[in-house]
Amino acid sequence: MLLLITLLPFGAHFVKNYFSSLEVYFLEQDPKLHFNETKYGTVMSAIWIPNLFMPFFGGLFLDSKGHKQGIIMFLSVELIGHVIFTLAMSCGNFWMAVFGEAVYGLGSGVVVVAMRAVVSKFFLAKELSFGMGITIAMAGVSKTLAKASVAPVAERWGYMGALWYVALWQVLSLLAGLVYVRLATSAGNHVGMEEAGAEAGPGPKDRRVRSHLVALRRSTLSFWLVAILHTLLNIAYHLFANYSGHFLVENYKDSPVRGGFISAVMPLVGLVCAPIAVLILNRWGSQLFVLLFANIITIMAYVLLLEERAGPVVCILMLAFCESFVPTILLSALPLTVHPSVYGAAFGMAEVLSAIGNILSNVFFGYSKDRTSSYKDDMVSLVVVCVVCLGLTLLLLFWDAKHGKSLLNRGKRTTPADVKLLG
């Protein structure tokens, strides 16, 4: 069952990571669309803009209507959007291609939210780290496969063949969703996600939605701290990863090939270390203290890169090791801070915050580099972000210790009675 759950967003992760491999084919082998960097950036923005609002409202839909209906619907929307994009590329219609990616974006973010909400109810509190760790590892498999396999397919059958190849992975996710829903239904809702509508009880749809909004608004400070930490640390790791190849060429005078190879170490080490991180977290616990330690190591790594006091491989290994722990800790902590009836909305809000952070941080990073012709200010900003995360982690430790230690004590599932809501 866990395998089926982790396959739900496999196609979504695949799509978000294959573009870098096909960019050169779009720019150099498409006489119909006259692709340039501006058009490429427009297509990429079309994917992310729906994530500014859709994960949250999609999460509300999942909480009120039930996850089994939502999973199939949003997986279908995701697939339809990519098919529209592929057909538009074959016809040379640029704005239809942008529309297709926007449709894809409407579904992809909600699919990730649905998967995390399902895992949150499928596993006990002590096992959440295992469940979230496996989903993160599977996401790493999808990202690695996308970067490694799409370009060879494009070399053999052209970029149109590669686009249809990508569609096959989305079909795989849809089939996994259909099988999961069938198994969950045949088990009488005792396996997998319980329908939120049943939890909420009878009543008009708008009343249930309002109750979910009220429950989320009254969530503890722990929820907002975890969501903000997830956003900021996501920026701290992923933003550097996006520019790491060019950073190594410019600051360490590496060749482009060597810089690309070293930058590829970060996701590869994260993929290998994620299962090890899960075992360590499940055995030793004290996950907030591990998060605090990871914050300190991350700050040290960025300071060393900024001052060029250590080799890039050592620093990137430090970052990769920390990244293998941090997402598992935060994503498994988030459902322990809210009422089970708002899991979908809670993960949706976290996705919205991450989308806003990614868009703003990438704009700032690029603008700062163009303005100064150096990565120094960018690296200083990453150190500042990590220091802020260190302070927020200390605040989270203090708040959790004062309000029941629901994040420190992973021995039992947090029940609604255990969740202290703010008035």
Q: In the prediction, which pLDDT does 264 show? A: 62
- Residue type for position 111: V
Q: In the prediction, which pLDDT does 129 show? A: 67
Q: What is the pLDDT of residues 10-68, one digit of tens each?
A: 888 788 777 766 766 776 666 666 766 567 667 777 777 887 888 877 777 777 776 77
- Residue type for position 254: D
Q: In the prediction, which pLDDT does 239 show? A: 76
Phi and psi, residue 337, nearest 5°: -105, -5
**Residue 363: CB atoms within 10 Å:** 10
Write out the two tokens for 367: 């603008």
Domains in the chain: ranges and CATH: 2-212 (1.20.1250.20), 219-410 (1.20.1250.20)
Q: What is the pLDDT of residues 239-260, one digit of tens each?
A: 777 667 667 777 776 665 565 5
Are 348 and 57 in contact, with CB atoms under 8 Å apart?
yes
Compute the distance between CA of residue 318 and CA of residue 324 in angstroms, rounded to an integer: 10
Whole-prediction pTM: 0.70
- Residue type for position 146: A
Axis crossing angle, helix 128-186 with helix 256-284, rounded to the nearest 10: 80
Q: In the prediction, which pLDDT does 84 show? A: 93
Please identify every stretch of the chain with a pLDDT value under 70, giving residue numbers as ranges: 20-21, 23-24, 27-33, 35-38, 40-41, 66, 123-129, 147, 187-219, 242-243, 245-246, 253-268, 270-271, 275, 278, 281-285, 366, 370, 404-423
